[in-house]
Amino acid sequence: MTISVVTGANSGIGRATAIHLAQQGHSVYGTVRSVDKAAKLQSMSADAGVEVQLVELDVADDESVRAGFTRILEATDGVVDVLVNNAGVGGNAVAEECDTSTYLEVMNVNLCGAVRCLQQVLPGMRARHSGTVVNITSIAGRIAAIAQSPYVTSKWAFEGLSEGLAQELAPFGIRVAIIEPGVTKSAIFAKNVEAPNHTGAYDAHYRRLFQFYATGYGQATDPFEVARLIDHAITTDSPRLRYAVSWGGPELIAGRQSMSDEDWISLGAHDDDADYYAAFQSAFGLDISNP
C-alpha cells in the first residue's frame, strides 16, 4: 500500500487530494494545524467511504514538523512513499507597501514549510531508492501576478527549489512533480481579501488584483480536478516536471512565455482599467473585465 502525506489537508486542494488518494487505496496522513477544526475533512472522508488519518502539524514551526513526522514515521515503520507539499498562505501587497516581516512570514510557510517536510521524508526515500514529492506551487510561481508581491516571491522561490530538487533527487530514483494551479475553489480566497494600500498610489493595482480573482472565482476549478492531476503525476509512466491546471493556469503561463519582457512591462503601464483589461485579454485570452 502506498503511504502518502498531504500537508494542509484541511481545505481546498489539500483536502481533495487527501480524500482522492485515499479512494485510490493510499494510506493517507493529512496534516492539519488543529484536529478540532477538521470536522469538514472528516465528514467528507466519511461520505467518500475512506479514512484520512489526521496529524496535527504546523509547517511554519520546526519542532511541530519534527514531532508530527515522528508520529507518522512511527506509525508507518519509517516509510513515506509520497509527500504532497500543499500547505500555503496567500499574501497581497505591492513591494513598496509590504513589510519585510510579511515577506518572511509568507516565505516561512510557502517555502520553508515545504523544506521542513522534505527533510523528514527524503532520507527514507533515498534509502529505498523510490518515492514521489509533489510540490503545489501556483501560476503565481510562473507569472508575477499583480499586487501579490510576497505570495509571488514565495512561489517563485518554491518553483526554483522544486526545479533544483528534481535534479538533486534524480540519482536516487525519487520523482518530483510541480503542480501549478490557477484559480481553484478554496477557503484561501475568503482569507485573502486584504491589501495594505497605505499610500493610495496603487489603487488600480489592488482593484485589478481583486477583479481578476472575482472573475476567476466564478469559474474556479473544483479542487478534486487538481487532485486527479496529482494522482496522475504520481502514477504516470511518462512523468513531467510541471503541470499547469485550473482556471487561468495554462493560459497565463503560455501567454507570459510568448510575451517579451517589454510587452510585460507595458501591460502594467495602462492607466485606464478598460485598456488594461483589453490588453490582458489580448495577451492571455481571459476576459476579466466583468466578474
- Residue 194 confidence class, pLDDT cut points 50, 70, 90: confident
Could you tell me the pTM of the whole model?
0.96
pLDDT at 192 over 70: no
In the chain, which residue ranges form alpha helices assigned H by DSSP? 12-23, 39-47, 62-75, 100-107, 113-128, 149-169, 188-191, 203-218, 223-235, 249-258, 261-268, 273-284
Catalytic residue among 29, 151, 206, 213: 151
Query: pLDDT digits over 224-278, tens only?
Result: 999 999 999 999 999 999 999 999 999 999 999 999 999 999 999 999 999 999 9
Q: Which residue has the cell 530538487?
A: 165
Q: Which residue has the cell 504546523?
A: 58
Give the pLDDT mean for 96-123: 98
* pLDDT on residue 191: 61
Report yes or no: 123 and 78 within 8 Å, Cβ to Cβ.
no
Q: What's the CATH class of domain 3-200+221-247? A: alpha beta
- Residue 73 confidence class, pLDDT cut points 50, 70, 90: very high
Domain boundaries, the chain: 3-200+221-247
DSSP state of 171: G
Mean pLDDT of the chain: 96
The angle, 0 to 180 degrees and rounded to 10, between the axes of the packed helices 113-128 and 149-169 is 10
In 24-82, which residue ranges form alpha helices assigned H by DSSP? 39-47, 62-75
Query: pLDDT digits over 77-102, tens only?
Result: 999 999 999 999 999 999 999 999 99
Q: Does residue 151 carry a catalytic annotation? A: yes
* pLDDT on residue 19: 98
* pLDDT on residue 189: 59
